Amino acid sequence: GENVEQHPSTLSVQEGDSAVIKCTYSDSASNYFPWYKQELGKGPQLIIDIRSNVGEKKDQRIAVTLNKTAKHFSLHITETQPEDSAVYFCAASGPKTGGSYIPTFGRGTSLIVHP
Amino acid sequence: DSGVTQTPKHLITATGQRVTLRCSPRSGDLSVYWYQQSLDQGLQFLIQYYNGEERAKGNILERFSAQQFPDLHSELNLSSLELGDSALYFCASSVALPNNEQFFGPGTRLTVL
């Protein structure tokens, strides 16, 4: 089955700095890569996703890149703000039997943005 | 607010007991997913239902079962509870297959004493 590795487990930055979180996956059939942000006491919230036919996607201060050959993808947050502090999860999924897309999640990165 | 609701928010019970967690998907979403989140295992997929039928199964214990009702809400039943079942249980929903975007509910925190 799919295996997703996520690094680092903790990332501490100063407000205004950039933050980068990296993930690798093992199953070459995976073709959808969402990123989730989980704040304390809440469920994961989809913040950006990328599909395997695209190498990069950007949404304001957040960008995601995908390298299919190397099987890795990254989340980039620029101009970090204290409200970006949360746990971020990457995931990888591809079509399974019956057409379901069941994501395999990384272990999460705790991002701390210091004012 | 994702539009997915889960009840109860917190649940405290004893070993050996049985509990039911409830999830209402976003309006229009046909697919419901259940996940378990614990500190040592991370976010683990348990089971998926689509329009009332089981569609995919993950690392779900035999003591656990789920169903999706005609109104599309879903229930996760956990029986013969053990201390190790203490975790956050999340429900997520998506529009339809093969749409991948999942929207998560706020979760139910289960504590087994």
DSSP assignment of B69-81, as one string? -TTS-EEEEE-S-
The answer, yes or no, to whether residue A94 has pLDDT greater than 90, is: no
- Hey, what are A14's tokens? 């100063």
Q: Is A102's CB within 8 Å of B43's CB? A: no
* Low-confidence winner among A49-63, A93-107, B38-52 (lowest mean pLDDT): A93-107
Give the pLDDT score at B1.
83
The answer, yes or no, to whether residue A47 has pLDDT greater than 70, is: yes
Structure confidence at residue A53 as a pLDDT band (50, 70, 90): confident
Residues of A near B (Cβ–Cβ under 8 Å) read 32, 34, 36, 41-46, 49, 89, 93, 95-108
Structure confidence at residue B97 as a pLDDT band (50, 70, 90): low
Q: In DSSP terms, which residues pair with B89 in a beta bridge?
A: B36, B108
Q: Is B102's CB within 8 Å of A102's CB? A: no
B34 touches chain A (CB under 8 A): no
Average pLDDT over every residue of A99-113: 89
Query: How far does the CA of residue A53 sit from the closest CA of chain B (Å)?
Result: 15
- Who among B42, B48, B103 is closest to A102 (CB)? B48
Q: Is B104's CB within 8 Å of A44's CB? A: yes
Structure confidence at residue B99 as a pLDDT band (50, 70, 90): low
Q: Is B101's CB within 8 Å of A36's CB? A: no
Which chain B residues are within 8 Å of A89, Cβ to Cβ?
Answer: 43
Taking the C-alpha atoms of residue A72 and residue A66, their distance in angstroms, rounded to an integer, is: 6
Give the pLDDT score at B42.
83
Burial class from Cβ neighbours inside 10 Å (0-12, 13-18, 19+) for residue A2 reads middle
Average pLDDT over every residue of A40-54: 90
Mean pLDDT of chain A: 93
- Tens of pLDDT along A19-43? 999 999 999 889 899 999 999 989 9
Structure confidence at residue A52 as a pLDDT band (50, 70, 90): confident
The answer, yes or no, to whether residue A2 has pLDDT greater than 90, is: no
The answer, yes or no, to whether residue A48 has pLDDT greater than 80, is: yes
Query: How far does the CA of residue A44 sit from the closest CA of chain B (Å)?
Result: 6
- Tens of pLDDT along B26-77? 998 999 999 999 987 789 999 999 999 998 899 899 999 999 999 999 999 9
Burial class from Cβ neighbours inside 10 Å (0-12, 13-18, 19+) for residue A107 reads middle
